[in-house]
Amino acid sequence: MTSIFTSWQWFTLSIYLRKEVIESIMRAIMRWIFSLVVCGLLWGSVGKAETVQTKSDTVNAGTAIHLTADAKAEGKPLIHFWSKVVGAGRANEGLRSTWQEELETAGKFDGFQYVRFHGIFQDDMFVYREDEHGNPIYNFQYIDDLYDRMLAKGIRPFVELSFSPGPLAPVHNTTFWWHADGSPPSDYNKWADLVHAFVEHCVQRYGLDEVRQWYFEVWNEPNLYQSFFRGGSQEKYFELYKVTAQTIKKVDPQLRVGGPATSNFNMDGEALKAAQAAGKPFDPFTIPWRPVWIDDFLRYCHDNQLPVDFVSTHPYPQDFAIDEPGMPKGKGYRRSIDSTRDDLRTMRRIIDASPYPKAEIHLTEWNSSPSPTDHSHDSLAAATFIAKTNLESIGLVDSLAYWTFTDVFEENRNTDSIFHGGFGLINYQEIVKPAFHAYRFMNELGDEMLMQTQGGIVSRDSKTGRISAVAYNYPPETKISLPVTHTQEDADSIDNSGSARAFILNLNHLPAGASFLVETLDKEHGDAITAWEAMGRPEPPNREQTAMLRKLAWNTEKQVVRTDGEGGLHLSMKLPAWSIVLIKQMD
């Protein structure tokens, strides 16, 4: 059995942890080890899954996850749409070393290919000003610095063209701590000239072949008038899209442009009215949800013969679109755990039936909620939510961009805690969260799918022939999408809930004696919050504590198993609630 902590780690912990804290950790570890012995966490083949008593509930055969695959069978294409794009706060934050270091980590281990952020034309990027006669002066040096560093890491920009630079903004400081100028440009001709100069500059600096691989998205959430399009309207946005798309295509027809980047899905109006008219309580799960502006946008573009290379929107599985002081937070309707998958299916149907059936679908922001202080984001449950949602939405869209990869993020942060419920996969101290590991595990999957069921998937790498699998336990009795939590205690209560499931894996036609890494993420292994709480929640941790937390956040449980003499791998284990396991062929 792999040790949870090395002797060196215990020595370091003892420097700054109280004696009773260490003793508490030791007691917890001993209880955990004892529970493994009692519950029979065994490696090898098993027969019929038996009922196993856990600390809080019961595991039975009805909830077991069974994965059985032939390593030589024909597979189906498996596209890693979940790692195509990832989000970040704003462009200026990308000029910081911590942001860049965390981007490198996210790209290396989670496989992200593009990053999208707000504010490329914000005044803190010093892109645009005017002389005394109103003539534009462009300066792209900050953008060059940012893009150069991103591209050097193998990560491309998914360009969000926003917001109005100061001289073109009719309204200033519409949202966020950093004073975004979220209002439509006062002069669409000057806006078009800025876009043209910017895109041409990118082509000259990076080459046409490179920039043709980028995406240019027009604005961000223009349907949220108060925050991002103050003084605007749907009509004004459509005109802005027209001007911008035509400008980009004048630079090169093969450059990719799309929108409308609207926020969230809303309940279908007619269905909601019908349910309310009945005068009886109704189940929100039975009401379909619709994306905002998508049908109108596609109709407008078709009527005006405009290009649409991709369609974008933001399917947060909550009934509020933004968490900002003074803004409403919906009516408290809870959404199903399958709501994101259902939203993606809706998008797929809309695009397939539209005049643009070949348009790509990019969900350019997504998370369990749009709140930057939702403690669920830091939790173990967030990792399982990510795995379940993405792996059960395969084949529907081109990207589902997690918002965000980093807690270097300055929108509406109103707490100083190092774990404040920020969107990031990595916190400000460069401590990876469980959500980071979910993407890391999925990144280990191959490009061919051999078998999938609710709770797991088996894949193969077409180049090496090696097999990998991921299984996850989003407790089957939990029917809702991951809820918003406002305190660490509330988030912990979710992580401490739910039933375990039996996980049974059978792989055949492998080389005899082939080794497999079995890596588990659970509350005792790889959960930064558990380690931080064991330290007494230092705010902020000192240098030694920070170094230790970084190490413990990577401390997933790892074991190596081998195939039998006939080339079979037969594993059985208990998968605790909210845990994820990766099985990866090593040779």
Helices 188-206 and 234-251 pack at an angle, to 10 degrees, of 40
Task: Provide the CB-side half-sphere exposure for 419 (13 A, CA).
Answer: 30
Known catalytic membership, residue 365: yes
**Which band of pLDDT confidence, cut at 50, 70 and 90, is reported for residue 285?**
confident
Tell me the CATH number for domain 7-78+450-585.
2.60.40.1500
| Every domain of the chain and the residues it spans | 7-78+450-585, 81-445
Residue 7 pLDDT greater than 80, yes or no = no
pTM of the model as a whole: 0.87
Q: Considering 365, 392, 444, 519, which one is annotated as catalytic?
A: 365
Residue 47 burial by CB count (10 A; 0-12/13-18/19+): exposed, middle or buried? exposed
Work out the number of other CB atoms within 10 angstroms of the CB of residue 167: 17
Residues 6+ apart with CB under 8 A from 565: 512, 513
Q: Where are the beta strands (DSSP E) in 63-112?
A: 65-70, 76-77, 85-90
Q: Confidence band (pLDDT; 50, 70, 90) for 413?
A: low
CA angle 60, 578, 333 (to 5 degrees): 105
**Is the pLDDT at 582 greater than 70, yes or no?**
yes
Single out the catalytic residue among 93, 217, 221, 324: 221
User: Annotated catalytic, 74?
Assistant: no
Structure token digits, residue 45:
């083949």
Domains 7-78+450-585 and 81-445 are alike in CATH topology: no
pLDDT, tens digit (0-9, with 9 covering 90-100), for 24-68: 444 444 344 333 333 333 233 322 323 233 334 566 568 999 999
Q: Who contacts 19 (Cβ-Cβ below 8 Å, separation ≥6)?
A: none
pLDDT bracket for residue 83 (50, 70, 90): very high
Q: What is the pLDDT of residue 334?
A: 76
Q: 81-445 has which CATH code?
A: 3.20.20.80
The CA–CA distances, whole Å, from 148 to 134, 144, 145, 493 equal 31, 6, 5, 43
pLDDT digits (tens, 9 = 90+) for 241-254: 999 999 999 999 99
